[in-house]
Structure 1
Amino acid sequence: GIAGNERSSLRSLLMPQPPGYPNLQVLHEAPTIPLKSQTVICMFLVSLCPSAGTGILSSQPEENPHWWNANMVFIPYCSSDVWSGASSKSEKNEYAFMGALIIQEVIKELVGRGLSTAKVLLLAGSSAGGTGVLLNVDRVAEQLEEMGYQGIQVRGLADSGWFLDNKQYRRTDCIDTITCAPTEAIRRGIRYWNGIVPERCKLQFKEGEEWNCFFGYKIYPTLRCPVFVVQWLFDEAQLTVDNVHLTGQPVQEGQWLYIQNLGRELRNTLKDVTASFAPACLSHEIITRNHWTDIQVKGTSLPRALHCWDRSLHESNKNGKAPLKGCPIHLIDSCPWPHCNPSCPTIRDQFTGQEMNVIQFLMHMGFDVQKMAQQQGLEPSKLLGMLSSSN
């Protein structure tokens, strides 16, 4: 737990939201806000209206142990450009894609509403918002420095936005966002949006190959600001663009091997990420879910890991110490298939809506206990026992 005086100095989340949400205000209606603490968190989400007060948005200490008392800034995702666009509407362009410019304007607005007195600004986002954090965190830091606010530390929290530019399980022509391979979708999009990527990342690639910077494992080594990466090892959005569908018909053996390999590949890209939380679950997004406190990796929950990260950054800024003992911030599951982590969120059958336990889910996918036990070097009974304890 956190002592009361520590808690009051933790986070101030300024998050404007659409009308109708209790205790939250839309940015253009919000007055200057006295900060409860010296930290501000801006939140990028894909949904226009997130569930009021769940996960990291909750004001309940039980659901949001460390940031429950914070003010919050919610920036709705209306630009459809992964927060990268700088393309205005014109005779040539029917639509405007101005995600990168929206963020700049929000920061300018917030400086006049209390951000100028903050010590820490945390940019947080889920899905496209998570990728948007990676693309914008350094630029926001530079913007604040240019405005004369060098004392504000800018950090990022990227949830479910760490995608792989891998080969699809079954290649399809790029006719819409679902059938388009990850690389081709971004290649086309960046031209359409006039997408901006950070200069340090851009310099790593040839002209015309800036699309590489939309992929976390390629942009992360170039970032100056600290970023905490949260990513399901079997992300549903990644599997969708890879043409792997886990409902309906049992999966073929080739598909099952592809899924396991995806988990291995993703795990490998996170090995040098200082602060990360990657459960072996089939899901998408976590930080605004009300079950975000329940998911654990190696006995540590995500809110606890984020608190450890916050403390480690505070301590290292103060006296250059290494990460705190007994307070882990690099947490990646090592078990090899979807939902092998007992704390994974409940799975529901897409057609019946019925909850499935792990064994039912794996059987539903055509799971062969004998073969899987052999792969893992276990007796079938031992494997079934392990899976049963995951219910």
Structure 2
Amino acid sequence: MKFFNVKTVDETVNIIETHFAPIHEPVRVSIREAVGRVLAEDVYSREQVPPFARSTVDGYAVQAKTTYGASESMPAFLDITGKIQMGKRAEIPLLEGQAQYIPTGGMLPEGADSIVMIEHVEEVGDLLNVYRQVAPGENVIRAGDDVEIGEHVLHKGIRLRPQDLGLLAAIGITEVAVASIPVVGILSTGDEIVPPDKTELSPGEIRDINSVMIGSRLMQLGAEVIYGGIVQDEYEEFLARARALFGKVDFLLLSGGSSVGTRDFTVQVIEALGEPGVLVHGVATKPGKPTIIGKSQGKPVMGLPGHPVSALIMLDLLGVPILKQLQGESKDDFDKRFKARISRNVPSAVGRSDYIRVRLEEREDGLWAVPVFGKSGLVTTMVESDGIMEISANKEGILEGDHVKIKLFGKEI
């Protein structure tokens, strides 16, 4: 048994990246249904965006050289020869000394190279007085300024955002290949655990916080979640329930039962589900050391600590990377953090990474992180926290005012 041969978080993430990959073929979906899904193909544009040169303002299409030197005291005089309609081709070419009215988004006529804003002109019959000169290309978007034909516009592995889908619509792509939605099963363990809907607790009982919290986090990331219920600390029942759930899912999470103890069977269950079994038994972190990562029949299995804080932190640190591997998400998106300054000294022990809950405060001199201390079984400390801060294993702590990196708690940034 690979018993508490602890790994660092980085070592564990490397193991995850080595062992897990998308296990289903991509599916094609409408762009109207693709937000939050992971793109499974590189996208190249078959079109220019915009497809024609267009105005960015209401004004008059002109040749810039005919406005040079124009001012309030000495305007340029141009002949008005037409009015361009929205959504219509500009049929009349523009000659030197001429101007044509054009609305925002209108198509530039042949011969025009700039737009003078309507605020800087005055119509006098068929004559246009121009009171400000413009440069070539001013107030104009050229054909292909946004996207060129053949341009690589979206990379495989990104999680699609509304703006990405807008770009796809702009280039005429209405369906894309995305990763299949991973199915994750959650099985809670412990003689003391009871369902959240139990109204009256008996002495020694606690409600199942973790499955609700873990499942919600996974659904935030686009997973389908199957709740397997609660199993008592009895090996044969635990194994039977885990096997039944394992056959229905792509990723099995076992909540509780990962610490040292004669009645903790998570390691045995993972080994019994199939080879190679346990990959990591123990991670050099506080909280969350007794976390277990396994692989059985090609599927990931994770044993999370029973304490709620430990469970949610380790899910974000290691469970989320597993889920993202199953969806083929780009590694660049795995760990997004930002900087803040710590509000007080925080000691730490060398040899392990400490993850401290923090509350964020915007002050006159910038963003500050205020530690939220409390034992890993206290749910309210998570509610009061905005994120977590890492103190790396080679440090004995951090000093007030130091810049630290913050990962938002249970959120994507």
| TM-score, length-scaled by structure 2 | 0.29
The structure with the largest strand share of the pair is 2
The structure with the largest helix share of the pair is 1
Give the number of the structure with larger relative contact order, counting CA–CA contacts within 8 Å between residues 6 or more apart: 2
| TM-score, length-scaled by structure 1 | 0.30
Q: Which has the larger radius of gyration?
A: 2
